[in-house]
Every structure is written in C-alpha cells, then in structure tokens.
Amino acid sequence: MLTDPIVALATPPGRSAVALIRLSGRGVFALAARCLAPFRAEPARTVFRARLRHPASGEAIDDALACCFPGPHSYTGEDLVEISTHGGLVVPGAAVAALVAGGARPAEAGEFTRRAVLNGKMDLLQAEATADLIDAGAPVQRRRALQQLERGLSGRLEALRGEILDLEALIAYEIDFPEEDAGPVAPDLVRGAWCVARERVAGLLATAPEGERLREGALCVIAGRPNAGKSSLFNALLGTERAIVTEIPGTTRDAIEAPAVIAGFPFRLVDTAGLRDSQDRVEKIGIEVSRRYLGAADLVVFCEEGVVRGASSDPVREEFLAHVRAPVVVVHTKVDLDQSDGPTVRPAVVSVSAVTGAGLEELKRRLAAEAFGRLLALGDVEPVVTRARHRAALERALAELDGFQAARSAGVDAAAAATHLRAAVTALDDLIGVVTPDEVLDRVFASFCVGK
C-alpha cells in the first residue's frame, strides 16, 4: 500500500490570493507539526491558524491556515492535511520545500486520487470524472463530469451488473436441475432477461462516439471556395478576430484551429484555405492541409456565397460533398448583401452574415445538433461513456452477452454458456475498477495534474 507521506501544491502556481497544499500518508500529522506552530490535529476537520516555518532553519515562511482530516474520512482515505498559504510564485514553493524537508515526498501526478481509488473512496470512473471536471472547458463537459463523479455511470453499470448476475443465477438453477424436460426455468424468462441486459449495454455503447467527442471537442472544419466568407464566419463563431480577413481570394493559406464553446458544447473549429485549383505553391500546400482536416472532421461547414448560391450544380461543391464522410452543414454567407426578396434558400441550409450576426445563433444550434444530437436527445440525466477505455469494456461485455445467446441457441450446455455471462460481468468490473491492475491505473492517472 502506498502510504508514504506525499505533498503537493493543489492550486496552480502564479499570482493568487491563496494557494492550497495537500499532505497525505502515514505520519503526516507529526510531519506537519514539525513545520506548523501551533499544530492541532484535533478537533478533526477544523481550520486553525499557524506559523509555517522551515523545520531545519526555523525561518518563518508564511502565516497559514491548516486543517487535519484523519483517515479514513479524507479525500485519499489516509491521514491528510490541507494547508492554505498566500499565493504567488514564491510562498507556495517555499512552503512545499519546508514540508519536503520535514519528511514528505513530492507527489506524482494524480497520486492523491490514485490513493483514493486504492482505499475505496471512489471508483475508477469517479477518478476519471475528477480529471474531466478539472479539464472541463464547456458547460456540458462540466455537467457530464459532475454526473459521472456522482456515480451516474457507476450506478448504471452496477445495476446492469446486477441484472447479468441475476441471469447467471437463473442459469445456475438450470445447471443444478439438468434432467428436467424444458429445464425448471422458462426459456422466455432467460431470453427476456438477456434482452434487457443486452439493450442496456448497447444503449450505453451507442453514446460512446459523442461521449468521446465531448471530451475532445468536435472537430468542425469550415470549408468552401476562396472568399466565401469562411474566415469571417470562423471569427464570428469564436467571437474574436483570430483569422485574417481580406477581400483577396486565397488569404488563408494554412489551417487555423481554435477551441470554441458552441451552445454549451466543446468544439475545435478549423478555418481552412479555400478550395480551388491553384498554381501558388504555398496555397497548394494549404489546400492539401484542408483536405486532410476534412478527412478527420466530425462535422463540416461548407460556405457558399452570392453568385455561387442558387447555381444548383456547383462543381466544386459537388466534388467536395462526394469526398467528405462527415455530416455537412451548408451555410450561405453574407446574407446582408442579399438583394433578392423572399426565401431563396433550401431549408437544409443556414444563411448567415458575419457582419450583422444574422443566422449565427441558428447555425450554432445546428452545429450542436449535428455533432451532439444524441446527447441532446438524452438530456443530462442519462449517463454516457466518454473514453476509449469505457467503449472497449462495453464492447467486450456485449460480445460476451452475444456469445451467451449464441451458445444457448446452439444447444451448448448451460454451464459452458454461463461462462460468457461471467466474462461479461468481469468486463463491467474492469470498467468500474473493482480490481484494477497497476498498468490501467498508470494510464488513467497519467493525464492528472499534480496535487489531485
């Protein structure tokens, strides 16, 4: 068990009013007492004010607040001390150095949460949610992470696990009484229970593509002919003048990627070089880059302007649409210049003006619906899976459930068929983190910040 005392700054370095330092592990109260005067381990979870000194030199470092959390009622499950010092570049570093001199080891990334998992304070899904909550850049990411942290996904998986165990129990009954004609358990009962479990696994698995996209941000590539108004739209969606806009066709020669929050969802917006046959070497490379981005896109915004509009067979657009696999939202740009009266556009098309802002809100809603339609339909209550690790485990569970049904149809004996159910339960256990091998933990915590 990892119980040696560790210390880390839990807040980011830089100018701030306060900084928070965490200490966890065996003997941290005695250790903190070497640096803090007065020191009070009791009453537990009660803040006290103390002088923080370097234990060797005795030099005063700061006037701090501290609080003791005796295990197991702490974040890590171990004895834990939180110390608030003044913020800034120097004080927190000097305070951590004093605690290291007092006997603590600087923590590795994610080590506090790792201990929390190992001590049963949270499961692996909750640990991942902790990281997601910290990394959240869009409101929907925050809500989803909080839901997972509060065991939304864990609870669902445990219920599912229970259902598969019930099914296993039915089969066990059959194993015990094999000689009876149709078996003591009605085949419909088994089939019904199997169907329910399979539906649930498949339902969760179906959330994986958008769930993973929710963590990464949907890659939304803005494409179209030169001068179609792509860079202007890119800037309007970002709300800042990020890309250069001019009336000269071929201004954008490189792809520009920027994170954006659209209708509460995370996107990675990409402005690209306009698609045309160019002899310019740099522009040609830019167009090649555009095509590569288009190949990876989750969603494409295809911009068309004025004269091109209405031309039902624009060869650039047709060639383009034929090569893109991602969903395409066709946008008519510069509607403020549109002199024609009456609606001329197809309903599938959104008309916008980067100058007046007309149509932007509608476009944003469309983008969110195209990239995250399933999540929007699910609402915030239904859990979703957000990592390749989750998807792999659910795929395994699904394959085992199907293996079970196939074995039954083939008349394989009940005991052999039941091994598939056992394997499905194991896949769910791995997902929740019931017994988690070190290498899995290493991978999960690799992306954590120090102090968490």
Ligand X SMILES: Nc1nc2c(ncn2[C@@H]2O[C@H](COP(=O)(O)OP(=O)(O)O)[C@@H](O)[C@H]2O)c(=O)[nH]1
Which of helix, strand or coil describes residue 87?
strand
Given the DSSP bridges, would you call strands 350-351 and 6-9 parallel, antiparallel or unpaired? unpaired
Distance CA 155, CA 426 (A): 16
Residues between 208 and 267 that touch Mg ion (CB under 5 A) = 230-231, 251-252
- Which tokens belong to 384? 């979703």
Residue 354 beta carbon to ligand X: minimum distance, rounded to whole angstroms: 4
Give bridge partners of residue 20 from the DSSP assignment.
84
> Alpha carbon 21 to chain centroid distance?
26
Residue of 24, 119, 141, 231 interacting with ligand X (CB under 6 A): 231
Residue carrying structure tokens 């910040």: 449
Site size with ligand X, rule: CB under 6 A: 21
| Residue whose CB is less far from ligand X, 246 or 447 | 246
Residues between 337 and 356 that touch Mg ion (CB under 5 A) = none
Q: Taking each helix axis as running N to C, give the angle between helix 230-238 and helix 360-378, from 0 to 180 degrees, rounded to the nearest 10.
A: 60
- Which tokens belong to 351? 């008309």
Binds 228: which of ligand X, Mg ion, none (CB < 5-8 Å by kind): ligand X
Binds 22: which of Mg ion, ligand X, none (CB < 5-8 Å by kind): none
Stretch of residues binding ligand X (CB under 6 A), selected from 224-232, 280-288, 418-426, 432-440: 224-232
Stretch of residues binding ligand X (CB under 6 A), selected from 208-216, 229-237, 361-369, 440-448: 229-237
Which of helix, strand or coil describes residue 367?
helix
Site size with Mg ion, rule: CB under 5 A: 4
| Residue whose CB is less far from ligand X, 118 or 256 | 256
Binds 74: which of Mg ion, ligand X, none (CB < 5-8 Å by kind): none
The answer to whether the Cα torsion of 185, 187, 190, 192 is positive or negative is negative
Distance CA 40, CA 68 (A): 8
| Residue whose CB is less far from ligand X, 341 or 438 | 341
| Residue whose CB is less far from ligand X, 165 or 358 | 358
| Residue whose CB is less far from ligand X, 57 or 246 | 246
| Residue whose CB is less far from Mg ion, 226 or 403 | 226
Instruction: Using CB atoms within 10 Å of the CB of residue 298, give its burial: 0 to 12 exposed, 13 to 18 middle, 19+ buried.
Output: buried
Residues between 294 and 353 that touch ligand X (CB under 6 A) = 333-334, 336-337, 353
Distance CA 420, CA 405 (A): 9
* Residue 342-361 contact track with ligand X, rule CB under 6 A, x = bound: -----------xxx------
* Residue 257-286 contact track with ligand X, rule CB under 6 A, x = bound: -----------------x------------
Residue 217 beta carbon to ligand X: minimum distance, rounded to whole angstroms: 22
Which of helix, strand or coil describes residue 204?
helix
Long-range contacts from 51-54, C-beta under 8 angstroms, 24+ separation: 52/83, 52/85, 52/95, 52/98, 53/98, 54/94, 54/97, 54/98, 54/101
126 binds Mg ion (CB under 5 A): no
Residue 368 beta carbon to ligand X: minimum distance, rounded to whole angstroms: 21
Residue 272 beta carbon to ligand X: minimum distance, rounded to whole angstroms: 9
Residues between 106 and 145 that touch ligand X (CB under 6 A) = none
Instruction: Using CB atoms within 10 Å of the CB of residue 408, give its burial: 0 to 12 exposed, 13 to 18 middle, 19+ buried.
Output: buried
Binds 337: which of Mg ion, ligand X, none (CB < 5-8 Å by kind): ligand X
* Phi, psi values for residue 7, rounded to 5°: -135, 145
| Residue whose CB is less far from Mg ion, 225 or 364 | 225
| Residue whose CB is less far from ligand X, 212 or 254 | 254
Distance CA 224, CA 331 (A): 10
- Which tokens belong to 81? 């001390």
Residues between 21 and 60 that touch Mg ion (CB under 5 A) = none
Residue of 27, 106, 226, 403 interacting with ligand X (CB under 6 A): 226
The candidate with the shortest Cα–Cα distance to 8, out of 77, 61, 62, 76, is 76
**Interface positions with ligand X (CB under 6 A):** 224, 226-232, 245-247, 251-252, 274, 333-334, 336-337, 353-355
